[in-house]
Every structure is written in structure tokens, then in C-alpha cells.
Structure 1
Amino acid sequence: MALSVENHGTPETPLTVVVMGVSGVGKTTVARLLADRLDLPYAEADDFHPPANIARMSAGIPLDDEDRAPWLRALGGWLRERTEAGTGGVVTCSALKHRYRDTLRAACPGAFFLHLSGGTELVEDRLAHRTGHFMPPSLLASQYAALEPLGADEHGAVLDVGPSPEELVELAVALLRPVNGDLA
């Protein structure tokens, strides 16, 4: 089920999408598929974390706003560069709080936030079966506690993660079409 939120983008602006949500909702999978589907550059937010952030999260210590600030600025820089280059792009980012999204919007005002949302049990189950990731399932509760849903003033939409990643991408493309009419 998709919940559409007010759109502010224009077809003249390269499409930039932030696939957001708590850990385990499938941001990376959906973002990669969406970038491939739309032939856009892709970036993984985890690659922008400094080693100290990775170490904190690996140790089960949630990041605070001070930890996140340079990471968010780096992600915003990537989005701005894609806009300036005219390519657009898709990036993953938890973007849990409105002010985090404000940081990204300051760098890339036209960014569309695709919030992948899922129930706690489903996401806990996904995290329990995930391997090779530094984010421990023990931090999920802190992410849900910090999560501020998209507001009516934010350019984006919410998708429930029940459907397959491929179905989510098709739903996302349908949502993005009014924002950028030349999507195939």
C-alpha cells in the first residue's frame, strides 16, 4: 500500500531518490533495483559512514546526531553532485528524523524520499536472517524510536515492504512518474 505525500519536484530537475527506513526494511535491495530500472547512478549510504560510526554500530551503540552529521552532509553532497551533473541518482539512507531529511534537502531540494515501512516482527525476522552486515538487530528498537514519518510538507511516499522488492520498484516507478514524466 502506497501513501502519496505532496510532490514539489519538476520534470526539468534530474530525479534524485532517497530510499529510507529502519535497518532491515530492504533499502539496499530496493534502491539497487530502482536505480537499475531507471538507469540512474546508485550509492549505498553505509559506504559514506566514517570508520568510527561503523565501529560504534558494530558494538551495538546507536549513533547520535553528532555522529550522523558528517555522514548526512556527505550523502547530501553526493545527491547535489548528481543533480549538478544532470544524472540524478538513487541513494539509501535511514533518514529517520525530519531534520536528517532537512540536511539532505538542503543539498538537494528536489530529493524524493521513498520510505520503506514494515512492521516490527517482519523487520526483526529479516534482521535475524541477514548476514555480513555491521548493524546488529539489537539497534532496531532505537531506530523505530527515532523514526519520524514523512510529513505532509515532505516530498515523498511511503511503501509497505510486504510485497516483493520487484513489486516495490514497480510501485515506486508509478509514484515517481508524476514527479518526472519521462520515466519508462
Structure 2
Amino acid sequence: MNDLDPAAPPTTHNADDLNFDEPAKWPKIVGIISIVLAGVGFVCGGIGTGFMFLTPGIMRTVESDLTGGVPPQVLTIDPALTAIMVFGTLWAVVLFVAGVSLLGRKPAARMMHIVYAAVAVLLTFVSTYLSMQQQQAISDWVAQNPDSEYAQTMHSEMGAMIGVAFGLALGLLWPVFLLFWFLIVKRDAAEISRGVQEVVA
């Protein structure tokens, strides 16, 4: 019967066919933060990597002007630490893509964030360990050469360790939050896109 016929019964829809859920707001917030932090991480990582390559050359230039010499660790590039730095910088791209996907409410964004965070945590611990080893080697050299100009101008070991600890905390903050958020709080990837699908007529 014609839908305009007043005698026709009203058209009904099964409640299960309609999606009245309001889209969750958290994907937009988390997505934007991920994109911003990815950009900051990429830029800072690039600057840090560049500085790591430039430092040995700079130190070799001023080595002859410093009485007592300088630690050999500052005259060479640490291959392992450099590799971690470069990989970590590029890994920020994964966070950027994950953030964009989350803004687009793609369910796959959940797993992308989990993978990013897991690798980021590992990278942070490894880079911290390597940095502490390097710092300890420099401190040992300073202790053996207390009269050198480098030793007299070097900051305290405590200050260096505080810097390493701060870097560790900063590097873990967002990845640990992401693991907690997506593995414990938001375990249903479908929630990301819920409420934005087209209504089934």
C-alpha cells in the first residue's frame, strides 16, 4: 500500500537497525594529542640526531685548546645510540598516522597506538640504558683526569643523572598512557567508530 495512504499502517524500523549512540569524544582528543606529540617528537628527534652527528666534529675542533684533553666518548659517534635515536625519530611517524586514523574514527587506530606505544617503551628503556653507559664512561674519565679543563667545566654527575631520569619519564609518559588506555580502559575497537555509521533504513 502507498506510504501516503492514511489507511496504511505507519512504517516501523527495528530498534536494532538504528544507531542512536552519540559518537565518543575521546578519539578526537587522543588523536589530536598523538598528532601534536608525533610532530614534536619528530622535530626534536631530528634536532637531537643532528646534534649527535655534529658534536664529535665540534669537540675535535676544540680538543687542542683544552688542557688535559677530552673524553674519547665525545669524539666519536656511538653507533647503537645513534641507531636508536634515528629509529625513534622515524617511529614518531607511526604515532602521527595512528593519530590521524583515530581522528578519522578508524577502529584500526587502536592497534596502531598499542604497537607504537609498546615499541616506544622499549626504545625509551634501551636509549636510557645506553645514555647512562655513555655518561658513566665520561664520568670515569673525568674522575681519572680531574685537572683537565673539561673536567672542571663539566656539570655534576648528579645533574646528568637527573637529566637522564627526566628524559626517561618524558619518554614513557604518553606511551604508557596509551597502553593503559587501549589495553585496559578502551578494549573495544568498535567504540571508535560507534555512532558515526550511517543509519540503516
Specify the TM-score bucket, using the shorter chain as the normaliser.
under 0.3
Larger RCO: 1 or 2 (CA < 8 Å, sep 6+): 1
Higher helix share: 2
Q: Relative to total residues, which structure has the larger strand share, 1 or 2?
A: 1
TM-score (structure 2 length as normaliser): 0.25
